[in-house]
Amino acid sequence: MEALTIIGQLFNTTLVFSTALIFSALGGIFSERSGIVNIGIEGLMVSGAFASAVGSYYAEQADLGALSPWIGLLTAAVFALLFSLIHAVATITFKADQVISGVVINFLAAGVTVYLVKILFDGAGQTETLNEVFSKWAIPGLSKIPLLGYGLFTAYPTTFIALILVAVAWYVLFKTPFGLRLRSVGEHPSAADTVGIKVKRIRYIAVMISGALAGMGGATITLTTTSNFSHNTISGQGFIAMAAMIFGKWHPAGALGAAVFFGMAQALNNFLQLFDFSKHIPQEFLYMLPYVLTILVLAGAVGRAKAPSALGEPYDPGKR
């Protein structure tokens, strides 16, 4: 029974770590399916984590109680969406190098958020600890199933939202006219332009969706795990989300599977520390595990994952 309990806890912790990656990987898919490389997922997660902490904190100050984390989640989506416009304007309007622009977004987010935290919280290096954060929901009936009940059907509301959004993203991308247009501008923008599709408009929308989703991914970490924001809240999760996107071949279902895989790697880091043999392993090696797996998976995916044909190429209507 104890072994089953440990396995159930491992599944549950895997979902906790996977949620932020699912949100952010979906965001990356929307952007890159439209042809815009978004290395800035890390920075957008940082901006979302910051905004959620600040939004929730001020909601608490206004005595909004249990609504506070939901306000924080919404604040994160809006703030990161607006932040992503910097990347959109640079790459779509001014045709800047998309990789360099994404790297700038990462550095800018890291610097600006820490600076704003110091201004808003009297020079402190982190936000105030939140009293109201998300608690886990248990699905009636299903949560009582042995092993799988606690592991899969007792989770934070953000996890359920992320899983629903996987289905929504798949439907939007592959079953709607908007999704067809978005994919067409990522594969052959000049052909899309020829039939009347507004390439720049679609790409702007895709990058903003990417920002909102990545912001929600960052908010998930703040509102379920850390309860505050500091400079190391995200710690490379955006890059792991990008790896999940590539390993999942720019498909929502594939990204979900990859995110769960990387989430389990992070969960194993926690659970290995419960066993005696872990005392003989330097903790630094355990913390390295998710990132080492990310490198190995990406190395194995090279040549197998086919990116959108026009990914990374600025569109110039005059050169059709």
For residue 319, tell me if it sits in a domain: no
pTM: 0.94
- Sequence-distant (6+) residues with CB within 8 A of 211 are 27, 44, 80, 81, 82, 83, 84, 85, 87
Q: What is the pLDDT of residue 115?
A: 96
Q: Read off the pLDDT of residues 158-172 as tens digits, 9 standing for 90 and up.
A: 999 999 999 999 999
Q: Sorting pLDDT into bands at 50, 70 and 90, what band is 1? A: very low
Q: What is the pLDDT of residue 38?
A: 96
Kindly tell me the sign of the dihedral angle through the C-alpha atoms of 7, 20, 68, 124.
positive
% of the chain exceeding 70 in pLDDT: 93
Q: What is the pLDDT of residue 302?
A: 59
Q: Read off the pLDDT of residues 10-33 as tens digits, 9 standing for 90 and up.
A: 888 999 999 999 999 999 999 999
For residue 24, tell me if it sits in a domain: yes
Adjacent-strand bridge partners of 312: none
For residue 310, tell me if it sits in a domain: no
Q: What is the pLDDT of residue 153?
A: 87
DSSP state of 313: P
For residue 181, tell me if it sits in a domain: yes
Mean pLDDT of 219-247: 94
Q: Read off the pLDDT of residues 67-113 as tens digits, 9 standing for 90 and up.
A: 999 999 999 999 999 999 999 999 999 999 999 999 999 999 999 99
Provide the number of structural domains found in the chain: 1
Q: Read off the pLDDT of residues 268-311 as tens digits, 9 standing for 90 and up.
A: 877 776 666 666 677 777 777 777 877 887 777 656 678 899 99
Mean pLDDT of 139-165: 88
For residue 306, tell me if it sits in a domain: no
Q: What is the pLDDT of residue 297?
A: 74
Residue 275 or residue 203, greater confidence: 203
For residue 248, tell me if it sits in a domain: yes
Residue 132 or residue 293, greater confidence: 132
> Under DSSP, is residue 198 helix (H, G, I), strand (E, B) or coil?
coil
Q: What is the pLDDT of residue 274?
A: 63
CATH code for position 255: 1.10.3470
Pair 60, 122: CB distance under 8 Å: no
Domain interval for residue 179: 1-301
For residue 62, tell me if it sits in a domain: yes
Q: What are the backbone dihedrals phi and psi of residue 134, each rounded to the nearest 5 degrees, phi first?
A: -70, 140
- Sequence-distant (6+) residues with CB within 8 A of 60 are 68, 130, 131, 132
Shortest CA distance to 80 belongs to which of 207, 176, 182, 190?
A: 207
Question: How far is the CA of 249 from the CAs of 41, 51, 153, 234, 245, in angstroms?
Answer: 17, 30, 27, 24, 6
For residue 179, tell me if it sits in a domain: yes
